[in-house]
Structure 1
Amino acid sequence: MVRNAIFFGLHALFAMSASGTDIVLRNDRWQASIDPSTLALTAMVDGKTRMTVSTGGSAHAAAATTMATRAEWTWDEGAYEFSANIDGDDLILTIRATSEGELMIVRQPAEAMGQGLILPFAEGHYVPRGQATWQRFLTNHQPTMDTVEELSLPLWGNIHGSHSLTWILPDSFDNRLDFAANGDAVTVALSHRFTPLTVHDPVTLILHLDRDESDLLAGARRYRRWLVDNGRFEPMADKLERVPDMQGLHGATHIYLWGGLLSTADVTNWQAFSRALQGDSALASMLRKGMGEEALSRLPLSDDSPAHAKRFLLDALNEALASHARRRWMGDMPDMERLSSTYATIRQHVAELFTGAVHLDAARWGGWAGMIDRLRDAGLRRLWLGHGQGWEPGLWHPEAVSAAVAAGYLIAPYDSYETALTPDVDPSWSTAHLGRRAFDRCGILGRGGKPQTGFLGKGRYTDPRCMNPTMRSRVEAIRARVPYNSWFLDAYATGMSFESYREGATMTRRENVAGAVANMRWMQDAQRLPTGSEGGNAFAAGGLAFAHGMLTPVIGWSDPDMGQSKNKNPHSRYFVGAWYPANEAAIFFKAVPLKEIYRTVHVDPRYRLPLYQAVFHDSVIATHHWLYDNLKFTDVRIERELTQLLYNVPGLYHLSEGTLTDRLPAILRQDAFFAPLHRRLATQALTRFEWLSADRQVQRTTFADGTRLVANFSGEARTVGETTFPPRSVTAIGADGTTSRFSSR
């Protein structure tokens, strides 16, 4: 029998139904009836209409026992053990297994969808019953979701007019949601897999009732309360005590900077530059070998040569220089001291090679320091700056990092430890060159010993526990040379996780995520660095200061018209772009329209909810995935901009020396409205979200200090009460009644 499961109620009444088959749990708020042989579940609220919550599965031989406050039963002579109790507005179901296998737990029929589905897919969504595009997306494009990796919060819910019901899986891995169409409804099925490594771990579900028909965030707030009650919620205020520099994220726009060792503006004499590059020195000879015939065919260049020819040559030269630097430290055992010193040494050699052809002050090469100056001089008080090319820009130009810190900015490299490559694979992916030990000993092994292939089919995904010593060694070596005051760890907060069956080092998915969180905590607590990662899913939130990918997640990755699949169509008008040139890659800078299905699912404000913000606004600062900055999609810029301001989250942009002039005005306009609000609200919970118009185009968020933000997404002025809100605007109303306003252009 179940003796150690967690039980929450002391006031439930237990009875068997008249037929003798159903378990009935009730209190003065509601009633739940469970068929112990199938897990079919019906609910009745306030003694009114009975509703089928789950139809259950195939019948099993069930043996039930009763106690004063709960019910317990078994299947198939103890193969599964169940307990259920009702406590206030919660029905708690706990399941244990004795052998591995997959168990269908919830099978929601069309009736259970009610008026709409609440789904924390990225930031959060409301899927109305009968919405054809969403139904097509969930049944054709995303028919299954892992509740840890593909949901930002481990829950889903349904609106039923007078009340809502939300399923919460507060501490459970290895769950899958399956979606299917049934008429105008979407049905949802939940299954849990007991694996050889987790067969003895119980799975607990909470079915939460909320009777406030207007509270769209009820399920998210119940999950937040579970986190608080179980010591799992870490407020931003507590994180600030450990990492005071985290204050720099409050009111900070997020910007990735791009460039190389040299830019065309650094060359003062193209004739002399060409002669040096065509000369007999060992460095010139080595560079020519790495530049490619097309680039070399441009030589010699003169001051009057076309700008595109100069850029093309320098792009090739910068890549050849980076390759030269990487060869000096990459190998079976990467030399971390050499890694941290070699870039400065090569920069000095480049200065000697091109003496008289480039500016004397190498510290200002590449435009890095100039971009910092221009951002500071534009009046941007706080920024988070990221080096999208990893830590190499900082090793080339540590002076620019120092300038950013002196300007009051946080600046971080985009670092990665989740994939390990062998020395002969893709040297340009420098952060994944972690050495032969990481590849051989830290790679995740599936059942049967097969390695788990890494990102883009290269290398192997790694066990973060095993990677910790390598991470520490590399981070400390880089920080000894470059004064980064923040850090970004790729993929660690996405929820992507695997089991590993390596002998002596087995790992469950829970342990995989815990290892990633431990590595982020080391960065944040031991190194005192405000640390961010990709995604930000709930199970990783404790180790995070900020997350990239919650407001806009990865979109259409396998869509040939848009993404990066093997059969991609680079001629499609929706194609997001290639990963080159390295200093201004099209995938980050090319502006494209967004396909209709993704506009509806990911952007349309009528179907968005701030579910993640309702849980974590005062804990984790979240924004877009770096693939889709504020300026990426031409046809939904306004909607994305207004949504992030309504939710009080920062914008994210990409800048290079050549794009800064065109992009800076958009950054300044939004920052002027966002920064002062966020400095005040970053430590405040988002407590309420409301639709203020029948078409859901006028929306309001409310924060714990009483601040209200109202967005009018429509193209016409809207009046609510006595206040008129201009088209495509966000209005901030302070607790003291003061207002400010932003209008999109």
Structure 2
Amino acid sequence: MFHIDNQHLRLSFSPKTGISVSDKASGAVFTQVPCPYAIHDVTADGQSISYTVHAGGLPIRARLAFAGVREITLDLTAEGPMTGDIAYPPAWQMAEQDVGVYPIGTGFAFPVNNPGLRIPPEMPFFTGSTGLALFGFIRNGQYVFTGIEKGYDAVMKHERKDDGLLHTQVYWRGEKGQFGYPRQCRWFFADSLDDIAAAYRRWRETMGWVRTLKDKIRHTPSVAKLIGAADIWLWDDNNMSRLYGRPESNDITPRDVRRAAGEMLELGMTRVLWQAFEGENAEDCAWLKSRGFLVGKYDIYRDVLPKPIADLVIPYRKKRSVNTRYWPDIVRTDADGSYAKAWAIHGKDGQMHHQHAVCDICALRLTMENVPPDIAAIGYDSRLIDVQAGATLQECYHPLHSQTRSAAQRYINAQLDFLADIGLTVGVEVGSEASSRAFHFSEGLLSSPWYRAPESGRRMNTLYYGDDIPAQIHQYMLNPIYRVPLWDLIYHDCTVSTWYWGDSSNSCPELMPIRDLFNALYGLPPLYSLNMSQWDMLKKDIATSYHRATATARKTALSRMTSFAWLSPDGMIQQTAFANGVTVVANFSDEPYILDDKSVVAPKDYLCQEGQQDTL
């Protein structure tokens, strides 16, 4: 057995039993499950422990060392081909009462002993499902978390062992078939989630991944209008029919930009990110901007309609695919030479037809070519880039634009940087920490894809009522006992996160007050997605929601979230605190809650205790 020590921890290693860590203050000992690989050549020098892991015929040199008083690094280096995923280090051994914390959406926490919970078996890092390369568990007030330095070629896998407990482990993937660059895990040990998040953020700061909204506003002044702004998609009543090849109705409420926006202002909705899927004209855009709105447009550079099927799809889709003229030169190519598939769209034959995926290198060029003329003609000051920053990173084997997954991330960030450089407030679908320094807002990070309504990506303004509300909305999406603001404890003052357009604040109108509570607790604004007729029907309810949901976002958007706590044993009373002194208590229960100072938080309501609002 080999040991190294610091003031707080003892790190032990044995080729037979693997890694264990003892917390000197509490006496807690954390061990890992057995390692499936042979281990040889162990050495120790008092500061580190080194050894060789033989994984599938590939010798990997491993080095354990302290990185801080309660942090440990595991560095892995190797040269040679990888024939499959490498599962090292092993998962931490779970105990019956452990609670796992996962970077699903903005964060979820599940008891590891509940086999009925819905959690995906495999989650690549930096995708629409997994925005952080950080996961961990809570045991008797002790927090143990695993961070992955560069998660481009890594996935998180969940497996129930023979003991019935859910274990989580990192699996490394090859970089174009090779082990490639050095890989690193970093373990964090702390007494609170707040301390875990603070330590993780410090690590990411050293990597240059942390850029605050204050810094972003100095670079792109239009971002200032994002603070506390509701994200609103106002659709034409026939938009969904056009998208999906259904007959359009003549009996509709016309999409009247100025009427709807004027009504929003009359209702006190003064801070709005106005989003357009089909775009606005220059006159309406100028009018909206003159009223203080941030005006954005949808855009996408991940899908391209292949020329051979262009005449098979519905005309509306053919018209929208402006980059088909570059097919197939821009298509991402798989290792076997085939074209990668992308989002399927409706054909005139009643069938679904797959588009092809655009390589991220080519997407940057297309963005630089397409966006500036549109901005010059219309005057938008915001852009939402769909898919790109929220999809699983992919390799490309095209001889003219070959890319690794890490290169794909670099080009995605360059795309977002370019948009910010030309003065646009930049939004992404979901996004991840690997691109958080480059974007300003993310749509969908609050709405994990695993717990949304079915086909929410195609049902942008579907409303659900009563028994038609999907069960997962109640069980997971809006269940406070499972949600934790892991993302915001790290990046709250760096990005603005919202719900997804198919999982909007108004998607289940009767549940808007619950979504408002999450927005208030996390200091995040709401997102509404609805057509003109729905606006006329729901505008008073939406205005009520707007005022409830945006108040703390205005006060806290530029401040770090410094603390999160469960105030009641059942998790229904929760509290967040921010660096500027603002504290929010949300009561998700059906009973009043009395705070220590005798303040009362009404059922399904929140109390915001004032601090000092941040200024630029």
Which among 313, 318, 330 is matched to residue 442 of structure 1?
330
After superposition, give the CA deviation of every residue in 1:635-675 in whole Å (9 maximum; x if it has no partner): 64333221111101111112433222222222222333444
- CA gap of 1:430–1:539, structure 2 versus 1, over 3 A, is farther
- CA gap of 1:125–1:75, structure 2 versus 1, over 3 A, is closer
Looking at structure 1, the residues matched to 354 and 331 of structure 2 have their Cα atoms a distance apart, in angstroms, of: 12
Contact 1:523 1:531 (C-alpha < 8 Å) held by counterparts:
yes
Residue aligned with 2:575, SS: strand
Contact 2:237 2:533 (C-alpha < 8 Å) held by counterparts:
no
Is 1:208 the equivalent of 2:188? Answer: yes
Which among 660, 680, 695 is matched to residue 535 of structure 2?
660
**2:73 is aligned with what amino acid?**
I
After superposition, give the CA deviation of every residue in 1:257-287 in whole Å (9 maximum; x if it has no partner): 112799xxxxxxxxxxxxxxxxxxxxxxxxx
**1:454 is aligned with what amino acid?**
A
Aligned-residue offset at 1:240: 0.6
Contact 2:384 2:428 (C-alpha < 8 Å) held by counterparts:
yes
Q: What is the match of residue 478 of structure 1?
A: 374
Q: What is the match of residue 317 of structure 2?
A: 429
| Alignment RMSD | 2.7
Looking at structure 2, the residues matched to 589 and 209 of structure 1 have their Cα atoms a distance apart, in angstroms, of: 44
Looking at structure 1, the residues matched to 387 and 462 of structure 2 have their Cα atoms a distance apart, in angstroms, of: 22
Moved over 6 A (4+): none
**2:323 is aligned with what amino acid?**
G
Which among 275, 278, 295 is matched to residue 386 of structure 1?
275
Contact 1:402 1:483 (C-alpha < 8 Å) held by counterparts:
yes
Looking at structure 2, the residues matched to 60 and 130 of structure 1 have their Cα atoms a distance apart, in angstroms, of: 30
Residue aligned with 1:118, SS: strand
Which among 389, 411, 436 is matched to residue 541 of structure 1?
436
Aligned-residue offset at 1:390: 3.5
After superposition, give the CA deviation of every residue in 1:477-498 in whole Å (9 maximum; x if it has no partner): 2222211111110012214210
Which among 100, 121, 142 is matched to residue 81 of structure 2?
100
Aligned-residue offset at 1:529: 0.6
Contact 2:360 2:412 (C-alpha < 8 Å) held by counterparts:
yes
Which among 581, 595, 601 is matched to residue 725 of structure 1?
601
Looking at structure 2, the residues matched to 109 and 681 of structure 1 have their Cα atoms a distance apart, in angstroms, of: 36
Q: Which moved more, 1:472-481 or 1:201-210?
A: 472-481
Residue aligned with 1:385, SS: strand
Q: What is the match of residue 323 of structure 1?
A: none
After superposition, give the CA deviation of every residue in 1:103-156 in whole Å (9 maximum; x if it has no partner): 11133365357521111100101112434542xx12xxx111112223121011
Q: What is the match of residue 251 of structure 2?
A: 311
- CA gap of 1:563–1:418, structure 2 versus 1, over 3 A, is same
Aligned-residue offset at 1:198: 5.2
Number of aligned residues: 586
Contact 2:526 2:550 (C-alpha < 8 Å) held by counterparts:
no
Aligned-residue offset at 1:219: 2.8
- Which residues in structure 2 correspond to 1:598-609 (within 5 Å)? 598-609=473-484
Is 1:487 the equivalent of 2:360? Answer: no
Looking at structure 2, the residues matched to 151 and 676 of structure 1 have their Cα atoms a distance apart, in angstroms, of: 28
Q: What is the match of residue 407 of structure 1?
A: 291
Contact 2:269 2:543 (C-alpha < 8 Å) held by counterparts:
yes
Residue aligned with 1:589, SS: coil
Looking at structure 2, the residues matched to 444 and 602 of structure 1 have their Cα atoms a distance apart, in angstroms, of: 34
Looking at structure 1, the residues matched to 64 and 290 of structure 2 have their Cα atoms a distance apart, in angstroms, of: 58
**2:268 is aligned with what amino acid?**
G
Is 1:368 the equivalent of 2:257? Answer: yes
Is 1:82 the equivalent of 2:35? Answer: no
- CA gap of 1:520–1:59, structure 2 versus 1, over 3 A, is closer
The structure carrying a bigger helix percent of its residues is: 1
Is 1:24 the equivalent of 2:3? Answer: yes
Is 1:72 the equivalent of 2:12? Answer: no
Q: What is the match of residue 464 of structure 2?
A: 591
Q: What is the match of residue 568 of structure 1?
A: none
Which among 453, 457, 465 is matched to residue 341 of structure 2?
453
Q: What is the match of residue 518 of structure 1?
A: 414
Identity value in percent = 19
Residue aligned with 1:44, SS: strand
- Which residues in structure 2 correspond to 1:19-58 (within 5 Å)? 23-36=2-15, 40-46=18-24, 49=27, 51-58=29-36
Residue aligned with 1:637, SS: helix
- CA gap of 1:473–1:680, structure 2 versus 1, over 3 A, is same
Aligned-residue offset at 1:193: 1.4
Contact 2:566 2:574 (C-alpha < 8 Å) held by counterparts:
yes
Looking at structure 2, the residues matched to 41 and 171 of structure 1 have their Cα atoms a distance apart, in angstroms, of: 22
After superposition, give the CA deviation of every residue in 1:683-739 in whole Å (9 maximum; x if it has no partner): 1000000111111111100000111000010111111222221111011001379xx
Aligned-residue offset at 1:602: 2.2
Contact 1:604 1:639 (C-alpha < 8 Å) held by counterparts:
no
Looking at structure 2, the residues matched to 529 and 444 of structure 1 have their Cα atoms a distance apart, in angstroms, of: 27
- Which residues in structure 2 correspond to 1:596-675 (within 5 Å)? 596-633=471-508, 636-675=511-550
Which among 133, 137, 146 is matched to residue 154 of structure 1?
133
Is 1:716 the equivalent of 2:607? Answer: no
**1:502 is aligned with what amino acid?**
H
- CA gap of 1:495–1:112, structure 2 versus 1, over 3 A, is farther
Q: What is the match of residue 350 of structure 2?
A: none
The structure carrying a bigger strand percent of its residues is: 2
Aligned-residue offset at 1:25: 2.3
Looking at structure 2, the residues matched to 144 and 702 of structure 1 have their Cα atoms a distance apart, in angstroms, of: 33
- CA gap of 1:666–1:610, structure 2 versus 1, over 3 A, is same
Contact 1:120 1:156 (C-alpha < 8 Å) held by counterparts:
yes
Contact 1:144 1:178 (C-alpha < 8 Å) held by counterparts:
yes
Contact 2:146 2:188 (C-alpha < 8 Å) held by counterparts:
yes
Residue aligned with 2:377, SS: coil
Contact 1:113 1:187 (C-alpha < 8 Å) held by counterparts:
no
- CA gap of 1:466–1:59, structure 2 versus 1, over 3 A, is closer
- Which residues in structure 2 correspond to 1:688-707 (within 5 Å)? 688-707=563-582
**1:128 is aligned with what amino acid?**
P
Q: What is the match of residue 100 of structure 2?
A: 117
- CA gap of 1:663–1:732, structure 2 versus 1, over 3 A, is same
- CA gap of 1:548–1:430, structure 2 versus 1, over 3 A, is farther
Contact 1:591 1:631 (C-alpha < 8 Å) held by counterparts:
no
- CA gap of 1:197–1:246, structure 2 versus 1, over 3 A, is farther
Looking at structure 2, the residues matched to 375 and 59 of structure 1 have their Cα atoms a distance apart, in angstroms, of: 62
Aligned-residue offset at 1:49: 4.7
After superposition, give the CA deviation of every residue in 1:198-231 in whole Å (9 maximum; x if it has no partner): 5221110001110x2xx23433332211111222
Residue aligned with 2:193, SS: coil
Q: What is the match of residue 175 of structure 2?
A: 195
Bigger Cα Rg: 1
- CA gap of 1:524–1:377, structure 2 versus 1, over 3 A, is same
- Flag structure 2 segments of 5+ consecutive residues without an equivalent: 240-244, 345-352
Residue aligned with 2:418, SS: helix
Residue aligned with 2:445, SS: coil
After superposition, give the CA deviation of every residue in 1:286-320 in whole Å (9 maximum; x if it has no partner): xxxxx99x77xxxxxxxxxxxxx6327x9xxxxxx
- Flag structure 1 segments of 5+ consecutive residues without an equivalent: 1-16, 18-22, 263-290, 296-308, 315-364, 565-575, 580-585, 738-745
Q: What is the match of residue 345 of structure 1?
A: none
Aligned-residue offset at 1:504: 4.0
Which among 363, 387, 398 is matched to residue 502 of structure 1?
398
Aligned-residue offset at 1:371: 1.6
